[in-house]
Structure formats: structure tokens, C-alpha cells
Structure 1
Amino acid sequence: MYILKNKIIFSFFSFVVFFWGCNKENIIYSDYYSFSESTWSHNDSVIFNLDLNDTTSVYNVSFQLRANTSYKWSNIYIFSDIFFPNGKARRDTFEFYLADEKGHWVGDRSGLIVEYSFPIYKNVRFPISGDYKFHLQQAMRDTVLNEISNVGLKISKPLP
């Protein structure tokens, strides 16, 4: 009985260590903004503030999105502004596909909510130590997007 119990405990910890080792990133920041009434207007910039002091490491930055299956578009355009500690800024425009050609949602679906994680910057360095501001704004022709519940930002260090 004692040997069987030890084997079960050893198997459990081996399983946990195996799946823990499968994680391909070290998340240093992850946050979501929730929209009241699941509506994102083009006037609503979502702002994430982050203090970054490691200028030698590389990072992956991902745009996170939670949308209802009633969202009427198969894609979304996003303006991404990064404000650096020295006052300079960088603006990029991204298009993300939320559904395939047949209209099937490509994110992780749980009930009526589909969750997406889109890489926007891979293996980037933040050259200046200090406070960074990330502004995300929807850039669709439709100025009000219904059925968008959350927008988020995730920053991680890739594991070797």
C-alpha cells in the first residue's frame, strides 16, 4: 500500500513538472480592460501602463481579445501606440482574422465567448528603462463595435 501511494505521488509530480516545462513563455505582464455593455467605440483608447527596467532581454507582446460569437465581422483592425519613457512614440496598424473563410471562429471558444491572443511584436527589446504606455484603439470602419467584451495586453519573455 505504501509503495503504491509513493508511485501515485511520484506520477502526479512527474505529470505536473512535465506540463509546467511545456510553457513556452514567462509572462511578466498580463491585463484586460472590460467594456461596459460589450461595446468598443473608436473613441475609446485602452491604455496599459508598464514599468520596464530590463533593456537587454527580448520580449513578445500580444494583443488579447474576447468577443461574443455574435460579433458581425470576421476580422478586426487595431491601432497600437507605444509611448516610450523619453516621450517618443511608435504607431502600428494591425489586422487580425477572427474567423476563417467559412465563418468558423479561430480562437479558443467557451460557450458564446471566443478568446484570441495575437502576437504583435516578437523578440523586441525595450531600449529605455522606465514607464511605457500602450494604447490600443479599434480602427474599423464601423465606429462602434458591439460584442467585444475585453481587450488585453500580454508581455512575456520567451524561454530558451
Structure 2
Amino acid sequence: MKYFYLLVILAVFSACDENRVFEQNADLDNKIWMADSTLNFQFNVPKLDEEYNLYFNIRNTVAYPYENIYITYSLSDTLNNQLKKELVNYNLFDPKTGEPYGDGLGDVFDHQLILLENFKFEQPGPYKFQLQQYMRMDSLPEIISAGIRVEKVVLPK
């Protein structure tokens, strides 16, 4: 009987994230994101007729010395044709109060920030995604991990 409850719990948790196509985060050594450290991800787009949202995931501590973060990202197909490249800025803390945004536990906060919304890929198959911090410091402290999430857009019924 206890195995039945375990199966039910596992089914509930797996059903909660059925729109996720890919999610991966890279842990950064000593909580430092070096400017020359490019985070590389590869994922597969299963269907052409769907739209996708791509998110930037970041986990930082409250000791992060800035209110924001600049990152560059690029999206390429398997032939290395660059489909999108952009410099973006996100606030991790409220500029007036200094309160951290995101979901937190203790002094660690997680953020999931939209990079591309309702994006249509040109063809199904593998894609490459690169992230790089673009702050004015060679070593950006108090960043625990960074990554991406790709999910299918679900239209309201």
C-alpha cells in the first residue's frame, strides 16, 4: 500500500511540469561566474508547430554585490547558424529597498527570467544555447548557478 502512495506522489510531481522540454543549470565553482566562462547547453526541439518560452535561471545569495545582472545569450542551430543573440539586463534586487526578487530560502534566491517568449523554432532537432555574464567584473561573486529552461507555450482553452 505504501508503494501505491509513492507512485501517486511521483505521478503528481511529474505531471506538474509536463510543458518542460529542457532545463539544466550549471553550478559555478566557489559561487563565482567568471567573465570568460561561457555556459553551454544543448537541447532538442521535438515539434515545429509549437511555440516555446526560453528562460534564464539564476541562483544567487543575498551577498551578491549588485542589484542587477547583465548577460549575453546566443541561440544557434546545429549548423552553427546564429538565430538570436542579445544583451539583456535583469534586476535581482529591488533598486529602492534592496529586497531580493525571486524565490528564496535563507540567503539563497532562485530566479526564472524570460529570455524569449512565444518563440518559434525553424525546424525540429538539436539547438545550442550559450550564456555569459556581462558585468564589469572579471569574477562575479555570489552566483551559485545559472542555466536555461525551455518550455512549450500552452494556449488557454
Place the TM-score, normalised by the shorter chain, in its bin: 0.7 to 0.9
Structure 1 residue 112 displacement after superposition: 1.2
User: What is the identity percentage for the equivalent residue pairs of Structure 1 and Structure 2?
Assistant: 25
Partner of 2:56: 63
Unaligned runs of 5+ in 1: 1-12
CA contact (8 A) 2:54 2:150 kept: yes
Structure 1 residue 98 displacement after superposition: 0.5
Pairing of 1:1-160 with structure 2 (within 5 A): 26-89=19-82, 90-100=84-94, 101-160=96-155
CA contact (8 A) 1:24 1:159 kept: no
Task: Decide which moves more: 84-93 or 111-120.
Answer: 84-93
- Aligned-pair RMSD on alpha carbons? 2.2
The residue matched to 2:22 in structure 1 has which SS?
strand
Structure 1 residue 86 displacement after superposition: 3.3
Is the alpha carbon distance of 1:84 and 1:120 closer, same or farther for their aligned partners in structure 2, counting shifts above 3 Å?
Answer: same
CA contact (8 A) 1:38 1:147 kept: yes
Structure 1 residue 24 displacement after superposition: 8.8
Q: Distance in 2 between matches of 1:145 and 1:87?
A: 28
Aligned length: 144
Q: Distance in 1 between matches of 2:98 and 2:72?
A: 24
CA contact (8 A) 1:59 1:124 kept: yes
CA contact (8 A) 1:24 1:158 kept: no
Normalising by the residue count of structure 1, what TM-score does the alignment of the two structures yield? 0.82
Is the alpha carbon distance of 1:92 and 1:25 closer, same or farther for their aligned partners in structure 2, counting shifts above 3 Å?
Answer: farther
Q: What code does the residue aligned with 1:28 have? A: V
Query: Which is higher, the Rg of structure 1 or of structure 2?
Result: 1
Stretches of 4+ aligned residues off by more than 3 angstroms: none
Structure 1 residue 130 displacement after superposition: 2.3
Unaligned runs of 5+ in 2: 1-7
